[in-house]
Amino acid sequence: MEAFLDAFAAALGLIASGDRDLIRIILLSLKVSLSAVCIAALIGIPLGGLIALSRFPGRQALIVMFNALMGLPPVVVGLMVYVVLSRSGPFGVLNLLFTPTAMIIAQVILVLPIIVSLTRQTLHSLWLEYRETLQSVAATPAQCLAAVLWDGRFMLITAVLVGFGRAIAEVGAVMIVGGNIDNVTRVMTTAIALEASKGDLALALGLGFILLMISMALNIIAHGLTAFGEPESRS
Amino acid sequence: MKTFPTSDPAIPSPEPGILPLELIGAGLIRDGKRVLKDLNCRIEDGAGGQIADRPAKTFIIGPNGAGKTLFLKLCHGLIQPDEGEVRWHGPAANDGARIKQRQAMVFQRPVLLRRTAWENINFVLKIRGVARAERADRCADLLQQTGLGRHASTQARALSFGEQQRLALARALALDPEILFLDEPTASLDPASAHLVEDLIDQAVASGMKIVMSSHDLGQAKRLADEVIFIHRGRIKERAAAPTFCNRPENDLARDFLEGKLLWWRRRSVYEDGEEQCC
Ligand SMILES: Nc1ncnc2c1ncn2[C@@H]1O[C@H](COP(=O)(O)OP(=O)(O)OP(=O)(O)O)[C@@H](O)[C@H]1O
Ligand SMILES: [Mg+2]
């Protein structure tokens, strides 16, 4: 118990003093996960909107596929990206393995299905509600998409936050494709895993604490946005 | 209220119209039942209410479930007929986009965007390509006209139901259509608001708009209608000038309806006209 309390105190000390290693790891985590989420949102929101508003052959299959991919195990994604990027793989020449770029690629794959599926759900229910009205005023398909994207924007931000939460907390994929190299690809989750296994609880606890704060903050923001996006309605 | 996209506003360009509208044996099938049957009618442009035998306000009257809403949506092009045809005959009728842009509709249960009242109107003006400066004026005008001036920045969905209905009317008027479909536009309005809406309808007619509206309110039909189309169980049972219809309807069902005797529990036994099943 005393060892634990010591470790905890040391962890708080690291955070309070702004330990350089700690800061560097946090910043790399944020950089990788924010990049991944931005890319996934840029692809996923328009794609989800397209699936929500239009009809084309294979649409149902696409919906089922993205829903299923939401539960992809990070380790498996990591492994797939590893195989593709490894020296003998199809993209081996790019020399991306064990770089932050590889970690971003893996996280995009993890987060994209979440953003596509949540966007589609949100926009589809909005579209069912708006469809007749928008058709009645002769809005073009692009104007329809813009209208539901804008009116669903708070819920879409929530979808993006959920995606970010998954990316920042994920360990399996970044461990495999990043390799947890100190100073290069070590992020919060991989550092926690390593330090804990080495018995250095202070750094692990400090990072764990920060990670917890981030995910709690995300939840609070998401909750606030959902409440904000659903103003008092009488219908 | 009307604006024309000409350089000299004194000489409005005569915009080619899309009316008249014709239904040719149009029918609709839902859940294996014919909910609209063999509709044949021609809806002419109203000529601003200036010509005696050109009705500018056509009322669609009939009991609940008669098919009034479906009839309006069919005319408006929101649903396609399963049988027969809906055809526009005006000079601009070969232009599909124009046909859509020259109509507007207010639904029985209007759906407003999750935005403020002002933004709801601004949205459709933007869709019609109205310039920004002009949009602001038109929004303010329309809100004023529909008695919503003080609600410009209220979230549309926080408005009362009657206010929402008036906002939906303002939004439809913003489109400046040639023909306006109204589905029971005064059903949940208080007398003063209903009066305001009736005045707006008359103004729209004076500016050349054709109105096709459904209503349950026979008093309103007497006050406002130029002609009445009576629908019962998906069929047009009678079409007559409003005074003729209100005073001596030819159709038995219409007479009973006017006297408040068209009862749903008697429909099947007394008025059975052969439930048409299909498919
Ligand atoms: N999608 C559908 N599936 C099955 N039946 C339908 C469908 N849409 C409409 N109907 C039926 O068609 C009939 C006409 O409906 P409609 O909404 O046009 O009635 P209405 O005359 O507008 O009635 P109200 O006065 O209550 O508004 C109703 O009996 C309704 O149940
Ligand atoms: Mg109706």
If one counts the domains in chain A, the total is 1
Q: Is the pLDDT of residue B270 over 60?
A: no
Which of B73, B75, B80, B113 would best serve as a mutation to test chain A binding (most A beta carbons within 10 A)? B113
pLDDT of residue A7: 79
Q: Is the pLDDT of residue A234 over 50?
A: no
Mean per-residue pLDDT for B266-272?
47
- In a 3-state reduction of DSSP, which class is residue B116? strand
pLDDT of residue B40: 95
Mean per-residue pLDDT for B132-157?
94
pLDDT of residue B272: 46
Distance from CA of B70 to the nearest CA of A (A): 13
Distance from CA of B128 to the nearest CA of A (A): 9
pLDDT tens figures, A138-171: 999 999 999 999 999 998 999 999 999 999 999 9
pLDDT of residue B266: 52
Token pair belonging to A101: 């770029």
Q: How far apart are CA A72 and CA A170, in angstroms?
A: 11
pLDDT of residue B265: 52
Confidence band (pLDDT; 50, 70, 90) for B264?
Answer: low
- Distance between Cα B68 and ligand 1 center (Å): 8
Task: Provide Rg for chain A, Cα atoms.
Answer: 21
- pTM (2 decimals)? 0.85
Q: Is the pLDDT of residue B150 over 80?
A: yes
A88 is a domain residue: yes
A3 is a domain residue: no
> Which atom of ligand 1 is the closest one to the Cα of B72?
18
Mean per-residue pLDDT for B139-168?
94
Confidence band (pLDDT; 50, 70, 90) for B249?
Answer: confident
Q: Which residues pair with B28 in a beta bridge?
A: B36
A14 is a domain residue: no
Q: Is the pLDDT of residue B175 over 70?
A: yes
Q: Is the pLDDT of residue B11 over 50?
A: no
pLDDT of residue B113: 96
A88 or A113: which leads in pLDDT: A113
Q: Is the pLDDT of residue B205 over 80?
A: yes
Q: Is the pLDDT of residue B49 over 80?
A: no
Is the bond into B9 cis (omega within 30 degrees of 0)? Answer: no
Q: Is the pLDDT of residue B180 over 80?
A: yes
Confidence band (pLDDT; 50, 70, 90) for A106?
Answer: very high
pLDDT of residue B275: 47
B101 touches chain A (CB under 8 A): yes
Domains and CATH numbers, chain B: 15-102+177-279 (3.40.50.300), 104-175 (no CATH)
A235 is a domain residue: no
Which of B99, B106, B114, B126 would best serve as a mutation to test chain A binding (most A beta carbons within 10 A)? B114
pLDDT of residue B4: 43
B30 phi and psi, to 5 degrees? -130, 135
Mean residue pLDDT of chain B comes to 86
CA nearest ligand 1 atom 12, residue? B35
Return residues with CB closer than 5 A to ligand 2 (ion): B 68-69, 108
* Whole-number Cα distances in Å, B217 to A142, A197, B129, B225, B235: 40, 79, 36, 11, 20
Mean per-residue pLDDT for B249-262?
78
Q: SS3 string of chain A?
A: CHHHHHHHHHHHHHHHHCCHHHHHHHHHHHHHHHHHHHHHHHHHHHHHHHHHHCCCCCHHHHHHHHHHHCCCCHHHHHHHHHHHHCCCCCCHHHCCCCCHHHHHHHHHHHHHHHHHHHHHHHHHHHHHHHHHHHHHCCCCHHHHHHHHHHHCHHHHHHHHHHHHHHHHHCCHHHHHHHCCCCCCCCCHHHHHHHHHHHCCHHHHHHHHHHHHHHHHHHHHHHHHHHHHHCCCCCC
- The percent of residues above 70 in pLDDT, for chain A, comes to 97
> Which atom of ligand 1 is the closest one to the Cα of B231?
21
Confidence band (pLDDT; 50, 70, 90) for B6?
Answer: very low
Confidence band (pLDDT; 50, 70, 90) for A230?
Answer: low
Confidence band (pLDDT; 50, 70, 90) for B244?
Answer: confident
Q: Are A8 and A205 in contact (CB under 8 A)?
A: yes
pLDDT of residue B5: 45
Least confident of A61-65, B51-55, B269-273: B269-273
CA nearest ligand 1 atom 1, residue? B30
A102 is a domain residue: yes
Query: What is the residue range of A90's domain?
Result: 19-228
A225 touches chain B (CB under 8 A): no
- In a 3-state reduction of DSSP, which class is residue B45? coil
If you measure CA to CA, which chain A residue comes closest to B172? Answer: A137
A189 is a domain residue: yes
Does ligand 1 come within 6 angstroms of the Cβ of B68? yes
A1 is a domain residue: no
Confidence band (pLDDT; 50, 70, 90) for A41?
Answer: very high
Does ligand 1 come within 6 angstroms of the Cβ of B147? no
Distance from CA of A150 to the nearest CA of B (A): 9
Mean per-residue pLDDT for A119-132?
95
> What ipTM does the predicted assembly reach?
0.85
CA nearest ligand 1 atom 2, residue? B30
A132 is a domain residue: yes
DSSP code, position B151: G
Does ligand 1 come within 6 angstroms of the Cβ of B67? yes
The CATH number linked to A91 is 1.10.3720.10
Least confident of A13-22, A77-86, B207-216: A13-22
Q: Is the pLDDT of residue A193 over 50?
A: yes
pLDDT of residue B271: 44
CB spacing of A233 vs B97 below 8 angstroms: no
Strands B21-30 and B210-215: unpaired
Mean per-residue pLDDT for B8-36?
81
pLDDT of residue A148: 95
